């Protein structure tokens, strides 16, 4: 029995001393400790021995098994540490690491979230609606009947003319909200709109709009002006100067365009503001009684204001982007600190 144990130990020692890699150690481990290995072969001989011999031989086999297992584990650990130290010696651990750039939100998404947070603070809900719209919600309920000249101002992309089209403004979502939701109503509507236009540095056939609507009792232009002044100062800074100008929009009466004093020239005139000293940022006005009536709202009881702006110009100014097409190119790169 001792001879068999010593023979296995000696052959293991020879192989073990020659091993110089973790792979070779794993091969030895299988050969001696595996299901068909040398240790199990020795253990299979226990059935041929007497009870007293089994106790002695079994103890020797277990001792050898533990010895082999311990030696293999220790050498594996030593080889692993040596390999790790070799790798470290080839690396200059004092040199600065490489910064891995991760993805970030699109500038338009960031601006929308920023504006959403402002209006949520004022109690507005964020509303959404279909981009494929009907003529009824996109035009008729907004005081733009089939023969209205205002339709000539917007080159519409029709899906099935004249009933289905790609919405030309997010005002269509506001008419849906006025038709379906309970009053009073305060919503903002960010979203994509579509026009039949040739793409260039300042225009695109698809772009983002941001519109807002408030319907309540006794709403006046003072509420509109106060809301928009507060919004513009949130967006452009507390010292931003604003002005209202009369402007025509079929869905509001009276209508107004809101300008901010050009912050590039402080109102003196430059190329950015086309030497006017002011930059138009949005259109607004009191919701037209015809719009309220078309949405089954009594204009004698309820009143409201609406406003809307194109987001692309705002995003371009904020992030220093010189061509609107870059916003939709799929290869837009902006500075991380913007």
Binding-site residue ranges for Mg(2+): 253
Distances (CA, A) of 233 to 118, 190, 227, 248, 260: 11, 20, 10, 25, 10
Look at residues 139, 167, 184 and name the one whose alpha carbon lies nearest to residue 305.
184
Q: Which residues pair with 209 in a beta bridge?
A: 191, 310
Identify the helix (H) or strand (E) that includes residue 43.
helix 38-43
What is the rounded distance in angstroms from the CA atom of residue 190 to the CA atom of residue 297? 24
Got the DSSP string for 100-157? PP-----HHHHHHHHHHHHHHHTTPEE----SEEEHHHHTGGGT--TT-GGGGGS---
Known binding-site residue numbers: 253
3-state SS assignment for residue 41: helix
Within 10 angstroms of residue 249's Cβ, the number of other Cβ atoms is 23
Phi–psi pair at 82, nearest 5 degrees: -65, -40
Look at residues 195, 227, 210, 206 and name the one whose alpha carbon lies nearest to residue 282.
210
What is the rounded distance in angstroms from the CA atom of residue 64 to the CA atom of residue 69? 9
What is the rounded distance in angstroms from the CA atom of residue 22 to the CA atom of residue 73? 10
DSSP conformational letter for 328: G
The strand pair at 303-310 and 278-287 is best described as antiparallel
């Amino acid at each position: 029995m001792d001879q068999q144990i010593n023979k296995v130990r000696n052959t293991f020692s020879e192989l073990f001393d020659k091993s110089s890699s973790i792979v070779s150690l794993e091969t030895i481990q299988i050969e001696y400790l595996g299901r068909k290995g040398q240790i199990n072969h020795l253990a299979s001989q226990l059935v041929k021995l007497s009870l007293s011999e089994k106790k002695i031989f079994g103890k020797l086999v277990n001792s050898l098994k533990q010895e082999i297992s311990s030696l293999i584990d220790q050498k594996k650990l030593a080889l692993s540490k040596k390999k790790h130290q070799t790798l470290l010696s080839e690396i200059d651990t004092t040199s600065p690491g490489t910064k891995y750039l991760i993805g970030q939100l699109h500038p338009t998404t960031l601006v929308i979230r920023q504006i959403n947070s402002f209006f949520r603070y004022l109690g507005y809900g964020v509303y959404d609606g279909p981009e494929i719209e009907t003529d009824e919600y996109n035009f008729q309920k907004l005081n733009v009947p089939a023969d209205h000249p205002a339709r000539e101002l917007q080159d519409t992309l029709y899906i099935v003319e004249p009933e289905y089209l790609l919405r030309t403004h997010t005002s269509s979502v506001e008419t849906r909200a006025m038709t379906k939701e309970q009053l009073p109503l305060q919503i903002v509507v960010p979203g994509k709109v579509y026009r039949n236009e040739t793409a260039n540095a300042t225009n695109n056939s698809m772009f983002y709009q941001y519109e807002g609507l408030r319907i309540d009792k006794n709403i006046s232009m003072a509420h509109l002006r106060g809301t928009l002044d507060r919004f513009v100062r949130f967006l452009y800074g507390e010292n931003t100067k604003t002005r209202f100008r009369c402007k025509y929009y079929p869905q509001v009466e009276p209508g107004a365009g809101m300008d901010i004093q050009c912050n590039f020239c402080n109102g003196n005139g430059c190329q950015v503001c086309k030497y006017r000293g002011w930059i138009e940022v949005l259109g607004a006005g009191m919701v037209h009684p015809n719009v309220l009536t078309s949405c089954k709202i009594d204009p004698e009881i309820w009143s409201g204001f609406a406003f809307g702006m194109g987001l692309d110009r705002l995003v371009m100014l904020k992030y220093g982007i010189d061509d609107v097409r870059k916003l939709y190119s799929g290869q837009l790169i902006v500075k991380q600190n913007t």
